[in-house]
């Protein structure tokens, strides 16, 4: 990163302001605005690969009181990975790692990416997700909270939000585009009859985090879980686990429905139908369709072995009012919040926090949610961002090392003109926040673990990751 890299319009405003200072007697009446990173120190950029650099900003410590400016125990670090595809053959992608049904650490997900074709240089955790209860049949199951896709394959539907869709970053040809997204999913039977598909790759009857349509009802707030007793859910062949059995979440009655299950091969031909559901693996290139309630009845009444079915799926860009073709150039990571839009903080962005705590002085409320973001800067280059506590050389990670900020405060830091970030989306944070870099000297995890398992701090397993790696097209490719 280059210090004092103002946005073009900010630079013009600054020059105009300087001119007015020389001509207006009232020019000194206004106090200068303090830059958000005024009390942070920028480190020297570290080259990871040609076109990939990591710059670390470290919060200045109060040398008298031994605390950071807002009474944190230790200074935080803001890490910016800038990706310049004009300086190297680079791309930007998302990955689900080994499979779409399991959560894995970011470093393990990136290890699944073919070194010969993509060779990840740097990556962060991706979109929001929710672990499914152990009743799903496997440990570390993960359901995406909103629309997610890799190589044009949808892994989940969008949030409904009253038909307005939810925030997501469409990653295509090496650059992210932040917008509102809405999925439209239909199952078409052998006679042309259609029915709505509620979601992909999660337990029927239990939408995580947000409603998928107007029929979903909130049943829990921590975590946010909805229910719908009449659903159809499709499982893709990259789900990778035996599909869920009834009773995944005993606290939600809809998940106990025995339902109906249909197995479809790679040609769209039904190879098996039957009462009950779960425990089977999706055939290569095929799909498994599970229904409960009226969804099960629709499948039961209309589908039989040797029938041909079609899954019609549309990804709609609500902002531009256009459909995005789901080809292998398209990845999507989901979020609920855009941090920066055209260089400013959206008015609708809440100043939320999952982990508010009392600071070191015993009175100041601080937020320790580590943060992750994906965005673009004034040059149109992608950036990966993390805000966290610091790692320690001895491998000891005290709990205070999870140290981020309230959501709007995080956005304020990213709005500093020295960073030059124009658009940014908030990705999963807290214990999910992870930055992995890989260079000729080795692979490093540059953010501390903050989840505790068995008394030890560990990096959280996540549903997907975003990374930059070797690419043949970069930002200037033509579709």
> How far, in Å, CA of 212 to CA of 217, rounded?
10
DSSP single-letter state for residue 73: S
Question: Any bridge partners for residue 225, and if so which?
Answer: 208, 220
How far is it between the farthest Cα atoms of the chain? 85
**Which three-class secondary structure state does DSSP give residue 102?**
strand
**pLDDT for residue 457:** 86
Q: What is the pLDDT along the chain (479 residues), one digit of tens a residue?
A: 444 554 444 444 434 343 333 344 444 556 667 899 999 999 999 999 999 999 999 999 875 666 676 778 788 999 999 999 989 889 999 999 999 999 999 999 999 987 556 689 999 999 999 988 866 566 788 999 999 999 999 999 999 999 999 999 999 988 999 999 999 999 999 999 999 999 999 999 999 999 999 999 999 998 899 999 999 999 999 999 999 999 888 889 999 999 999 999 999 999 999 999 999 999 999 999 999 999 999 999 999 999 999 999 999 999 999 999 999 999 999 988 999 999 999 999 999 998 888 887 788 888 999 999 999 999 999 999 999 998 765 544 455 467 899 999 999 999 999 999 999 999 999 999 999 998 777 899 999 998 888 888 899 999 999 999 988 654 444 43
Beta carbons within 8 Å of 188's beta carbon, 6+ residues apart: 194, 309, 310, 311, 312
The model scores a pTM over 0.85: yes
Phi-psi region of 369 (alpha: psi -120 to 50; beta: other; left: phi over 0): beta
Phi then psi for 256, rounded to 5 degrees?
-85, -10
Q: How is 405-469 classified by DSSP, letter by letter?
A: --HHHHHHHHT-TTT-EEEEEE---GGG--EEEEETTEEEE-S---EEETTEEEPPPBS-EEEEE
**pLDDT for residue 139:** 72
pLDDT in tens, 303-325: 999 999 999 999 999 999 999 99
Phi-psi region of 151 (alpha: psi -120 to 50; beta: other; left: phi over 0): left
Inter-residue contact 277 to 260 (CB < 8 Å): yes
């Amino acid at each position: 990163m280059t210090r004092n890299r103002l946005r073009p319009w900010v630079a013009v405003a600054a020059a105009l302001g300087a001119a007015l200072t020389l001509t207006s007697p009232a020019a000194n009446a206004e106090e200068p605005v303090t830059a958000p990173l005024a009390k942070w120190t920028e480190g020297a950029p570290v080259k990871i690969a040609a076109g990939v650099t990591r710059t670390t900003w470290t919060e200045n410590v109060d040398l008298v009181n031994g605390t950071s400016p807002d009474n944190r125990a230790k200074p935080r670090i803001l890490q910016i990975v800038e990706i310049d595809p004009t300086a190297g053959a680079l791309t930007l992608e998302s990955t689900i790692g080994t499979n779409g049904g399991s959560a894995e650490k970011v470093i393990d997900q990136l290890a699944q990416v073919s070194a010969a074709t993509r060779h990840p240089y740097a990556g962060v955790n991706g979109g929001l997700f929710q672990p499914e209860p152990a009743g799903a049949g496997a440990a570390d199951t993960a359901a995406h909270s909103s629309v997610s896709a890799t190589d044009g394959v949808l892994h989940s539907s969008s949030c409904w939000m009253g038909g307005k869709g939810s925030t997501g970053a469409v990653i295509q040809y090496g650059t992210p585009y932040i917008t509102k997204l809405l999925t439209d999913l239909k199952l078409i039977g052998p006679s042309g009859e259609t029915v709505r598909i509620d979601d992909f790759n999660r337990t029927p009857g239990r939408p995580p985090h947000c409603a998928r349509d107007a029929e979903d009802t909130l049943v829990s707030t921590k975590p946010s879980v909805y229910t719908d007793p009449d659903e159809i859910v499709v499982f893709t062949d990259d789900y990778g686990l035996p599909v869920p059995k009834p009773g995944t979440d005993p606290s939600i009655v809809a998940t106990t429905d025995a339902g109906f299950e249909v197995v479809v091969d790679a040609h769209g031909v039904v190879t098996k139908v039957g009462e009950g559901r779960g425990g089977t693996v999706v055939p290569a290139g095929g799909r498994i369709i599970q229904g409960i309630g009226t969804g099960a009845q629709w499948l039961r009444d209309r589908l039989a072995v040797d029938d041909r079915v079609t899954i019609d799926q549309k990804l709609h860009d609500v902002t531009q009012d256009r459909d995005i073709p789901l080809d292998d150039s398209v990845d999507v990571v989901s979020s609920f919040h855009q941090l920066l839009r055209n260089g400013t903080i959206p008015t609708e962005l809440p100043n939320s926090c999952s982990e508010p705590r009392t600071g070191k002085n015993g009175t100041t409320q601080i937020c320790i949610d580590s943060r992750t973001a994906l965005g673009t800067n004034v040059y149109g280059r992608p950036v990966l961002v993390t805000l966290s506590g610091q790692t320690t050389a001895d491998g000891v990670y005290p709990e205070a090392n999870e140290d981020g900020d309230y959501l709007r405060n995080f956005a304020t830091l990213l709005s500093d003109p020295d960073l030059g970030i124009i658009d940014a989306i908030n990705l999963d944070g807290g214990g999910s926040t992870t930055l992995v870099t890989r260079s000729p000297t080795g692979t490093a995890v540059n953010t501390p673990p903050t989840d505790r398992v068995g008394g030890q701090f560990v990096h959280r397993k996540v549903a997907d990751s975003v990374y930059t790696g070797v690419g043949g097209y970069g930002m200037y490719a033509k579709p």
